[in-house]
Amino acid sequence: MKSNTTLFLIGLLFTTPIFCQNNLSKNKKAVIASVENHQKELIELSDQIWAFAETALLENNSSKALADFAEKQGFKVERGVAGLPTAFVATYGSGKPIIGVLGEFDALPGLSQKAQPTKEALVNGAPGHGCGHNMLGVGGLGAAISIKELIESGKLKGTIRFYGTPAEENYSGKAYMGRAGLFNDLDVCLDWHPGDEVEANMQSSQAITDFSISFKGKTAHAAADPWNGRSALDAAELFTTGMNFLREHIKPSVRIHYVYTSAGKVPNVVPDEASVWLWIRDSKRSGVAEVSERMKDIAKGAALMAGVEYSVKLNSGLYELLKNETGEKLLHSNMELIGPITYTEEELAFANQIMKEYKMEAKGLKGEIKPLEATKDDPPGGSTDVGDVSHIVPEISLSVTTAPYLGPWHSWVVVACGGMSIGHKGMLFASKALGTTIVDLFENEKVRNEIKEEFLKRKGDEVYKAMLPDGLPPFPESKK
């Protein structure tokens, strides 16, 4: 039976973050102090990007704000890398090791929302940060700045690099940066993502390929002389029917989803053009490649049946996340040292009210550090361009709470929380967790080697090749 004193001590251990932080080394304490010194500026920068709310490849103001801030802090900044005007690389220091941190900053269309628990757009119809990327970029930069200060004062030796990575929600920015070789010389790369729990992320993500399939036929009067027409829409329908029959003969881990992007204009004209936008996902890149080949045969068959021409265009593709358990364990140990995120009554009330407004059960906020999970064979649904980076260099991923537990993602709920203290707290935790882990990566060559060994073992003889068409992505038009 435990004595009351033991119970009291155990209680202290689990409730007092200060207790854990006493075990931090001098350099790690300096990381925490740096993030706290810059706290005001980091929050302002995140709120600025939150208000800009710029979508993929149009993030001109957001990218500039981050790059300017990095430059002001003493980083050497290279803008417009990999042919993407909003991508940049900020570097400080020299020589090995070279540690990278990724930072996204794109928003999602139509999700504009004020930082309040009831639904009201900041600007009607405008984009909003429904995936929390306003915090993502700034949180990563906060970590990089803390390391830069340690290099500057001679306490660490090597190079810290912050990557401004645009267009995560669409166009796969990091795949373009990966194809340009920008990550090649890194020893280890780290990233974080806003979420509803605080965890070193042990789960992979799905590989994906994104295709446009187009059919071209001949118009004719649909009643007077349909025999002179060849319907592109017939082909498109035969194609999707074929894809739906294919579902029975592929692995259960595969996901296929599509929309018709063009299907004729009026019923009395045989449609000469039709197109389908199709995504194929699986747990691994190899699985996606296999189904993609069968899809091409189905497109060809559909075109033959309808007597029309066809084309299959690859828009982009992403690798699954290659996990690194050694790296995630290192990150987790630092998260434990920092201790959980705690919330005020007002923040909890905000989170619970917003869930009720969304007509979902209110479950509060999860600030405690989740125990490390085992990596599951099949990842949760969803893909990220961090997957590509993880096939080039070892990658460590963190998730931090910035929104209500089990709340709706890519929604106005995430936008609202990302513009106030719930989001700010998550972002600052991310800077500290990444920063302290990077201290270990600089100081401990043995752990760096172990991370690299695991990476090489998992990768095997696979050679990274970005799944992208030649040239640059189709740049969207900026709204004037």
Q: Which residue is nearest to Zn ion (CB)?
A: 131
Q: Cα dihedral sign for 43, 49, 53, 57? A: negative
Closest approach, Cβ 129 to Zn ion, in A, equals 9
What's the closest the beta carbon of residue 38 comes to Zn ion, in angstroms? 23
Q: Which of residues 112-141 bind Zn ion (CB under 5 A)?
A: 131
Q: Nearest distance from residue 226's CB to Zn ion, in Å?
A: 48
Q: What backbone phi and psi angles, to 5 degrees, belong to 131?
A: -120, 5
Nearest Cα residue to 132 out of 479, 412, 356, 432: 412
User: How, if at all, do strands 309-318 and 207-216 pair?
Assistant: antiparallel
Give the dihedral of Cα atoms 123, 405, 171, 120; nearest 10 deg: -10
Closest CB to Zn ion among 11 and 382?
A: 382
Query: 205 or 292, CB closer to Zn ion?
Result: 205
Q: Which is nearer to Zn ion, 292 or 384 (CB)?
A: 384
Instruction: Number of residues interacting with Zn ion: please give it, by CB under 5 A.
Output: 1
Tally of CB atoms within 10 A around 103: 27
Instruction: Kindly write out the interface string for residues 371-390 of this chain, putting x where it contacts Zn ion by CB under 5 A and - elsewhere.
Output: --------------------
- What 3-state class would DSSP assign to 207? strand
Shortest reach from residue 103's CB to Zn ion, in Å: 12
**CA-to-CA dists, residue 308 to 217, 263, 354, angstroms:** 5, 14, 52
Which residues are CB-neighbours of 343 under 8 A, at least 6 positions away? 351, 365, 367, 422, 425
- Closest distance to Zn ion from the beta carbon of 344 (Å): 26
H or E, element range at 98: strand 98-103
Are β-strands 255-263 and 207-216 bridged in parallel, bridged antiparallel, or unpaired?
unpaired
CB of 132 to Zn ion, least distance (A): 7
Binding string, residues 37-56; x marks residues near Zn ion by CB under 5 A? --------------------
Residue 173 or 317 having the CB closest to Zn ion: 173
Q: How far is the CB of 24 from Zn ion (least distance, A)?
A: 29
160 vs 321 by CB, closer to Zn ion = 321
Q: Which is nearer to Zn ion, 303 or 413 (CB)?
A: 413
Nearer to Zn ion by Cβ, of 385 and 440: the residue is 385
CA dist 466 and 318 (Å) reads 8
Instruction: Please report, as ranges, the residues that interact with Zn ion according to CB under 5 A.
Output: 131
